[in-house]
Structure 1
Amino acid sequence: MTSIAKEEQGYRIMGMSIPIFLCVTLVTLAASFMGVLPKGMIGAIPIMMVIGAIFNEIGNKTPIIKDYLGGGPIVIIFGSAILVTYGLLPEKTGEIVISFMKAEGFLSFYIAALITGSILGMDRKLLIKASVRYLPAIIGGVMVSLGLVGMVGGMIGYGAKKAILYIGVPIMGGGMGAGAVPLSKIFGEALAVDPKEMLSVMIPALALGNAISIVAAGILDKIGKVKKGLTGNGTLLKNDGEEVKHEEITDKIDYKNLGIGLLLATTFFVWGNILAKFIPIHSYALMIISVAIIKGIGIVPRKYEVGAFQWFRFIMVNLTPALLVGIGIAYTDIQSVIDSFTIQYILLVTVTVVGSIIGSGVVGSIFGFYPIESAITAGLCMANMGGTGDVAVLSASKRMKLMPFAQISSRIGGAFMLILATALLKIFT
């Protein structure tokens, strides 16, 4: 009884006592440095969870970082990237994590759970009312962002056209795979330049814009705590005098429900890929639209909505720090961020991100959204690096349940940016 009582007391990390957590950490790190960490999820999950938990504690306990820079999430991402970039973690371990994130699809697995569970767990009336107003908030953020960066670029001698095309558009383009890569091809063909060369110009803007977006998300969360009228504390849509409630599912956890949620999330992801074979839209966007339609017409029995929501919560609570480690190792290029650190470049990237906040916040407020939530989802989730950036931004701002709207920004908003980029090239060239 005495040992049990001691175990239930004291400081805890991931719900574990310090001695137990240290034992788990030592075993995992020993396997990593001895080169015997298993490949695949069985090796990736423990090393990512341990590193994520440690950096999360550091970030959430460090003054200034915890108050203004997003706390744990930003430390996890950049701390993990530094570990691999500077050889503080074995190369083989980095390869295991990268493979797990990309080849084995952990990022997609995570986002599928969040999209399905968060949409099916929403109030149906709230979802319908919010969705029809969301695109104007995205467009507002894009227009103000590109307008500001063009104006400032012209004023400081960088060039308005160059600032818009090479900095503004890539940052607001929906990430790497759905944004920068197709953008580099569009730019390359229009400007008669090798797409690889264009991509090398865009990547630093994306990396730095993503970093600033994460920091800005933490700052917006802090502002919301001071200016409470600007935020819905994770709720996007204002009531506008109507009784519109977000139903938080509080049913008792059921193991079968978790299994149902797992199956639904992965099936919706597969369905998105099937639709993408016939419809020229990103599979994530098609998945979001499918889940939203099914939720909107109300054909899913509550039991299945509960299962999807509980699975989403399980994944979010337990695996978010681990995922952020993967983002840091597999998707964050520290050297690209460092190389782009000139005052002129930083100013233009910052102006782009700030423009996205102002435009989406103001337009979103006009259309009935809380300014901070609108700025985070319709603004910062356009300015970050797609799905990976969405997780980081929402985690830093402590608004992870807004993932469906963040994904609309990254996917549908990203598709809008490809069309806009084509139009801008015709104007400027």
Structure 2
Amino acid sequence: MTQKLDNLKEIRTDKQKIGIWSIKISGVSLPLYLIMLVILIIGIKLDKLPGGILGALAVLVLLGNLFYYIGNHLPIFKSYLGGGAVFCIFASAVIATFGILPSGAVKTVTIFVNDMGFLDFYIAALITGSVLGMKRDLLMKASIRFIPVAFISMAVSLLMVGLVGMLIGHGFGKSVLYISLPMLAGGIGAGCVPLSGIYASVLGKHSSEIISQLIPASAFGNVLAIIGAALISKIGASFPKYNGHGAIMKSDTEEIKEEDRELKLDVVQIGVGFLISVSFFILGSIFNYFVPHVHAYAFMIVIVVICKITNAIPQYYEDCAVMFNKLIMKNLTPAVLSAIGIALLNLNVLAQSLTWQFIVLCFTSILTISIVSGFIGKLFGLYPVESMITAGLCNNSMGGTGNVAVLSAANRMELIAFAQMGNRLGGAIVLILGSFLIHILT
């Protein structure tokens, strides 16, 4: 009798699992999710979408999670083209660029992303939590090895783009100044904008004339970096010797990527983690005020790293930061990817620059920096897969948002601190280098 009852329970459970109620998007059953989506669409159509953070998050979270789910279930896309991360970015860019998402909603999201610090909030949580959650020995050893790998890879990539540009008739100087440097500069705000100002002051032009020539390389390079990271992660799975699965290196005595300590959820600690992350970001911004050419992220990374190495932060507060990091990364990553597509990736601007020379040179930059970073990273004791993604592809991305997209596509978000380290420090050097090369190569 007991056996029959158990069988009936199993049959009933199986029946409950069948159907659309078993499909869940970010923890919400599909029917309920669709109701929420319909409410959002009606609100947008009636021009009743709330302004500011409420309306923007409604759009980004609902659309982002939907696109992320679809991308992770499309047969070819999920295996070879970056899955949910890449699909989320481009699906969001399509609906914004071609007017499928009404302009009012696009404007609300764009203001939220560009003027209200949404991405800063996300990246601050990731940097603080990822650094404070790492082993102290790993941080010391890996940082010393990682930075030279990133800089050498960037230098070789720049030279290769110039040489290939010369061979295909695009010119060494033009290829370096308008394709390689903007791809390596660390994004739009911290890279292309100041770089355009540097060029404009020397060429006697307005920076608006220059920046339109720089943004396409940065944007297209970021696209290639995202897809490249997904492919490297996929291919790297077949080579366990060269794949750290999220650990950037292995120590002499033990595997660096140790098991995470079990953290018991505590809502008070999550709030404390928020305060710690925000405080570190503000501190980085204060240093940036005195040294404007170095991005606030770079200062923030250095400060958090110093605190970790010197054991200045008690374990309780480190746990708080890690807990807040996990909360934000788990719930807001698809929203951030959707924000990148809607607010930062204009497909029309990108399409206008797609000459064959432009495409060849962008591919040259991506391939060179990937191969060199993997090879040099191996020599310096880093896992080649992780080195190719962080020291290589993240240095061809659009700064902080690009790093999030690249690492998300590779499922290695825990490496955000290293990605930002190479991206920001390397971006600062690119700006200095650009101020010299614009005199020499024009």
Range of TM-score over shorter length: over 0.9
TM-score (norm 2): 0.93
Counterpart contact for 1:210–1:385, Cα < 8 Å: yes
Structure 1 segments unaligned to the other structure (5+ residues): none
TM superposition shift of 1:399: 0.4
Distance in 2 separating the partners of 1:7 and 1:62: 21
Counterpart contact for 2:138–2:251, Cα < 8 Å: no
1:418 aligns with 2:431: yes
Distance in 2 separating the partners of 1:395 and 1:185: 32
Look up the match of 1:319: 332
Look up the match of 1:92: 104
Instruction: Name segments (4+ residues, structure 1) moved above 6 Å.
Output: none
Distance 1:159 1:24, change over 3 A: same
Matched positions, count = 428
Identity of aligned residues (%): 44
Counterpart contact for 1:121–1:249, Cα < 8 Å: no
Pick from 341, 349, 361 the counterpart of residue 328 of structure 1: 341
Distance in 1 separating the partners of 2:394 and 2:212: 22
1:148 aligns with 2:160: yes
Amino acid at match of 2:197: K
Counterpart contact for 1:100–1:106, Cα < 8 Å: yes
1:361 aligns with 2:378: no
Amino acid at match of 1:64: I
Look up the match of 2:56: 44
Distance in 2 separating the partners of 1:118 and 1:310: 10
Look up the match of 1:112: 124
> In angstroms, what is the RMSD of aligned CA positions?
1.9
Distance 1:352 1:319, change over 3 A: same
1:59 aligns with 2:71: yes
Structure 2 segments unaligned to the other structure (5+ residues): 1-11
Q: Which moved more, 1:311-320 or 1:272-281?
A: 272-281
Pick from 138, 141, 160 the counterpart of residue 129 of structure 1: 141
- Equivalent residues in 2 for 1:196-215, closer than 5 Å: 196-215=208-227
TM superposition shift of 1:192: 3.2
Counterpart contact for 1:122–1:247, Cα < 8 Å: no
Distance 1:363 1:424, change over 3 A: farther
Distance in 1 separating the partners of 2:286 and 2:112: 23
Amino acid at match of 2:216: P
Look up the match of 1:263: 275
Look up the match of 2:5: none
Distance in 1 separating the partners of 2:104 and 2:255: 54
Look up the match of 2:3: none
Pick from 181, 186, 196 the counterpart of residue 184 of structure 1: 196
Deviations 1:219-267 (A, max 9, x none): 1111111222221011111334555444523211111110111111111
Distance in 2 separating the partners of 1:259 and 1:249: 20
Look up the match of 1:235: 247
Deviations 1:19-49 (A, max 9, x none): 2111111112211122101011111112211
TM-score (norm 1): 0.95
TM superposition shift of 1:293: 0.5
Distance in 2 separating the partners of 1:188 and 1:368: 42
Counterpart contact for 2:407–2:416, Cα < 8 Å: yes
1:400 aligns with 2:413: yes
Distance in 2 separating the partners of 1:242 and 1:255: 34
